[in-house]
Chain A
Amino acid sequence: MRFALVFCIPLFAAAQVTPEAIANSPNAEWLTYHGDYSARRHSSLKQITPDNAKSLVAKWVFHIDGAKKLEASPIVHRGLMYISNTNEIYALDARNGRKVWHYSAKNAKGTRVNRGSAILGDKVYFVTADCHLIALNRSTGNLIFDVTYASFDAGYTTSIAPLAIRNGILVGVAGGGSGQRGFVAALHPDTGKEVWRFWTVPGKGEIGSETWGGFPAEMGGAPTWTTGSYDPQLNLVYWPTGNPWPDFYGGRRPGDNLYSDCVLALDAATGKLKWHFQFTPHDVWDWDANENPVLLDAVFRGKPRKLLVQANRNGFYYILDRETGEFLHAKPFVTKLDWTSGLDDRGRPKVIPEKIPTPAGTKVCPSVRGASNWMSPSYNPATGLFYVVALEQCDMIVASAKEPVASSGFRGTGNEGIPTEPGRFFLRALDVLNGEIKWQYPMPGPGVMWAGTVSTAGGVVFTGDDDGNLVAVDAKTGKDLWHFSTGHSLFASPVTYMLDGKQYVTIAAESDVFTFGLFQGN
């Protein structure tokens, strides 16, 4: 099995991806699900501006055979784009969309969607629906390892884009709606062996277990199904958690149900908890806090602060001190919000008792889908604006006191929309330091989208809308600059990158990956 040919010296050298490079992106490249560690999704690229955005044209489309609901943000590095689907990943030539390699975990169990990959060193990582972390050589797609980090047979599944930091590939699990015990784990980048694991529901006798009234930790939920953020200087990982289980009936889990609906600050080296902040104690509305925790430094009320901000599913935009977890400020970013009379000075909501779901049904705003969800927001330091897709909607929620059985489909009963009050999406620009809405871009449509945003230094914000369009708007004013109808519903967030001096914008849409750039003749 020898090659008879003599090979010449290669021209294209594969580079190692370092944590420092990730921390300094996104620039010409897009190196994590969020673009960088801060989850700001703000690119330094300036070629596309409000003046020329009208000249954007489609550059290429890549079809993924069998894909039905692409939700991934692609990663772009050294001319290759990595785009994942359920149990598979492709590497494409990012200039033209030509397939370079494809890896399919053919024997993987489960069909859950996949939200993306991570890169570090010479490897690309992604998870399969049955909670395997797979490491591949970035250039060839050759398998390096395939390890299990949670049992599919025990009910675990996942859709997460991993986060690669120096000492670990961070992964999480779904399960808030089916009664598994959530956790965040760091797996060794070279071997996949577990470095640390933090359980998001404390075990019996552990701190926080007293907030469950004896409910079994093994069924507590608090899943970790979205990608966290990371501060390399503080060496803290910020990981959001989902709802306690059963979703809509809390009678058997009296208490705050830590660490559900939280953002956790974990020591990146050990996984130990430094602080936590819980947005919705004792959640009975399925308001996971898995929305992106966005990190930024700013002068807040006259003092330089390291901040963490999040537009939460419960309808409030939060500002926290990310060194200490101190609650600093919150403000509703939707008008349809009726479950609380406000927050106290520590950020704890004052719940209106009539808004706790009952067997007869209770109308609650926001809806179960939330005022926002996992669709990515973005933040532009130049405008000071935080761009978030918001949903104005209420639901009828029905609660049941049935005995909970994990993995049975039981969620404490459920929710349904109100036919006369359909949901409506908006792209909203919030003042990042107080949450005031500066402008909004309405999105007419059927109310099905889950697309997010990317911000650029060129002064353009790209977002998917509720009618299947990729849209460019002016970052300062929200003025509509350009749109392209993909012919699909959108469930992913766009990214941007530059190759050969050309800026591109990419979004995945159901079964196809669309890439755009400025018209440049031939």
Chain B
Amino acid sequence: MRRAIFSIFSVCLCSLFAQRNLIPTDSPAVEAGRQIYMGACSGCHGATGEGSQGPSLLSGRASRLPDRTLLNSIQNGLPGTSMPNFPMGSEKINQVAAFVRSLTAPAITTQPAGDVERGKRYFFGAGKCSTCHMILGQGGHPGPDLSNIGSERTSGQILESIMKPSARIAEGYRGVVAALKSGPTIQGVAKNHNNYSVQILDKDGRLHLLNREEIAKLELMDASLMPSTSDAAEARHLVAFLARQSTRMKEGALSK
């Protein structure tokens, strides 16, 4: 009986693997898919897959469909829903799927174009990114650690954070100013806060664990503390550099 279950499990596992890698990942396919998507799909799913009338393609079930299911959904639609069929031929179906996949692919897997070394110089130099961000212990506080950002974000999300830092502020990085009843004012990011306490990380990497009764005035900011950049060229190189920050991909180099 155990062997039978194992065999069934093995078949399922093999089927699962067999469904993978049906969708191209090359840049021309992704770009061709993007053009089709903008005409046929973005009206319901949003220009970046964020969803509007249709579900988000960035999170939830729609972001986790196996290759075969995704391809079938585009080609045949989903009966009983607003998702129509798109009888455009398998090559175009594959291209659309390639673009959809790229919306959620970690940056380390897409290897976006750009001068990685130039991006690194900008990060640690003129861009002053390392004043507030760290990579493997190099850099400053209190911005998010970027050691593994290539595995945690898509290239598009990284670019958005650079160009429009206030569009999305990561949990625990909202700017805060706390004027204490005892006199001093503490500025940094609110790692957490509620009606009873606030935990603030300042630019020197020091934590202030405060009860609200110690605070005369607490101001939480809606805009990111990070300034935006309008230099698209430098941003492109910076994305190329940050996209390659992935700790587990580097484990060989980091090990003894």
* A residues whose Cβ falls under 8 Å from a Cβ of B: 1-14, 79-80, 93, 95-96, 98-101, 105-108, 132, 137, 139-149, 192-194
* A147→B205 contact, CB < 8 A: no
Which 7 pairs across A and B sit closest by C-beta, in order of nearness?
A1-B129, A142-B145, A143-B147, A10-B206, A144-B137, A7-B203, A107-B248
> CA–CA, A97 to B134, complex, Å?
26
In the assembled complex, which residues on chain A have CB atoms less than 8 Å from the CB atom of B191? Answer: 99-101
In the complex, besides A7-B204, A95-B209, A139-B206, 11 extra interface pairs with C-beta distance below 8 angstroms are A1-B143, A1-B162, A7-B202, A12-B209, A79-B209, A95-B211, A101-B191, A137-B134, A139-B207, A146-B251, A147-B256
Contacting residue for B254 out of A10, A98, A108, A147, CB 8 A = A147
> CA–CA, A305 to B205, complex, Å?
45
Count CB-based A-B contacts (< 8 Å). 139
> CA–CA, A389 to B192, complex, Å?
38
Question: Contacts A96-B196, A143-B136, A146-B251 given: A9-B184 contact, CB under 8 Å?
Answer: yes
* B225→A100 contact, CB < 8 A: no
In the assembled complex, which residues on chain A have CB atoms less than 8 Å from the CB atom of B131? Answer: 1-3
In the assembled complex, which residues on chain B have CB atoms less than 8 Å from the CB atom of A144? Answer: 136-137
Please give the number of chain B residues whose Cβ is less than 8 angstroms from any Cβ of chain A in the complex: 53
Residue B115 CB within 8 A of the other chain:
no
* B254→A11 contact, CB < 8 A: no
20 pairs of residues in contact across A and B, judged by CB atoms under 8 Å: A1-B128, A1-B133, A2-B226, A2-B227, A3-B143, A3-B203, A7-B202, A10-B202, A80-B207, A93-B192, A93-B197, A99-B192, A106-B152, A139-B207, A141-B145, A143-B136, A145-B136, A145-B254, A147-B254, A149-B255
* B132→A2 contact, CB < 8 A: yes
Contacting residue for B197 out of A9, A98, A106, A137, CB 8 A = A98
In the assembled complex, which residues on chain B have CB atoms less than 8 Å from the CB atom of A8? Answer: 184-187, 202
Residue B188 CB within 8 A of the other chain:
yes
B222-253 interface bits toward A, Cβ cutoff 8 Å, 1 = contact, 0 = none: 00011101000000000000000001100100
Contacting residue for B225 out of A5, A96, A139, A145, CB 8 A = A5
* A143→B247 contact, CB < 8 A: yes
In the assembled complex, which residues on chain B have CB atoms less than 8 Å from the CB atom of A10? Answer: 186, 202, 204, 206, 208
Residue B148 CB within 8 A of the other chain:
yes
B169-211 interface bits toward A, Cβ cutoff 8 Å, 1 = contact, 0 = none: 0001001010010001111100110101101011111111101
In the assembled complex, which residues on chain A have CB atoms less than 8 Å from the CB atom of B133? Answer: 1
Chain A nearest CB, measured from B192 CB (Å): 5
Residue B142 CB within 8 A of the other chain:
yes
Give the residue name and chain of the B residue nearest to A94 (CB): B209
* B206→A14 contact, CB < 8 A: yes
Residue B127 CB within 8 A of the other chain:
yes
Chain A nearest CB, measured from B196 CB (Å): 7
> CA–CA, A4 to B186, complex, Å?
15
> CA–CA, A50 to B255, complex, Å?
51
Question: Contacts A1-B129, A143-B137 given: A96-B197 contact, CB under 8 Å?
Answer: yes
Chain A nearest CB, measured from B77 CB (Å): 33
In the assembled complex, which residues on chain A have CB atoms less than 8 Å from the CB atom of B151? Answer: 106-107
Chain B nearest CB, measured from A296 CB (Å): 35
* A100→B137 contact, CB < 8 A: no
* A4→B227 contact, CB < 8 A: yes
* B128→A139 contact, CB < 8 A: no
Chain B nearest CB, measured from A396 CB (Å): 21
Name which of A79, A142, A149, A194 has the most chain B CB atoms within 10 A of its CB.
A142
Give the residue name and chain of the A residue nearest to B175 (CB): A5
Give the residue name and chain of the B residue nearest to A187 (CB): B256
> CA–CA, A145 to B137, complex, Å?
8
In the assembled complex, which residues on chain A have CB atoms less than 8 Å from the CB atom of B201? Answer: 100, 139-140
Residue B120 CB within 8 A of the other chain:
no
Residue B141 CB within 8 A of the other chain:
yes
In the assembled complex, which residues on chain A have CB atoms less than 8 Å from the CB atom of B205? Answer: 14, 137, 139-140
Give the residue name and chain of the B residue nearest to A14 (CB): B206
> CA–CA, A394 to B11, complex, Å?
41
Chain B nearest CB, measured from A216 CB (Å): 24
B102-136 interface bits toward A, Cβ cutoff 8 Å, 1 = contact, 0 = none: 00000000000000000000000001110111101
Name which of B151, B199, B204 has the most chain A CB atoms within 10 A of its CB.
B199
In the assembled complex, which residues on chain B have CB atoms less than 8 Å from the CB atom of A146? Answer: 247-248, 251, 254
In the assembled complex, which residues on chain B have CB atoms less than 8 Å from the CB atom of A96? Answer: 196-197
Give the residue name and chain of the B residue nearest to A192 (CB): B254
Question: Contacts A4-B225, A99-B192 given: A143-B127 contact, CB under 8 Å?
Answer: no
In the assembled complex, which residues on chain B have CB atoms less than 8 Å from the CB atom of A80? Answer: 207, 209
Give the residue name and chain of the A residue nearest to B130 (CB): A1
> CA–CA, A95 to B141, complex, Å?
24
> CA–CA, A444 to B177, complex, Å?
53
* A93→B199 contact, CB < 8 A: yes
In the assembled complex, which residues on chain A have CB atoms less than 8 Å from the CB atom of B225? Answer: 3-5
Chain A nearest CB, measured from B171 CB (Å): 9
Question: Contacts A5-B175, A11-B186, A98-B199 given: A142-B227 contact, CB under 8 Å?
Answer: no
* B207→A7 contact, CB < 8 A: no
Name which of B131, B185, B194, B209 has the most chain A CB atoms within 10 A of its CB.
B209
Chain A nearest CB, measured from B176 CB (Å): 10
* B256→A142 contact, CB < 8 A: no
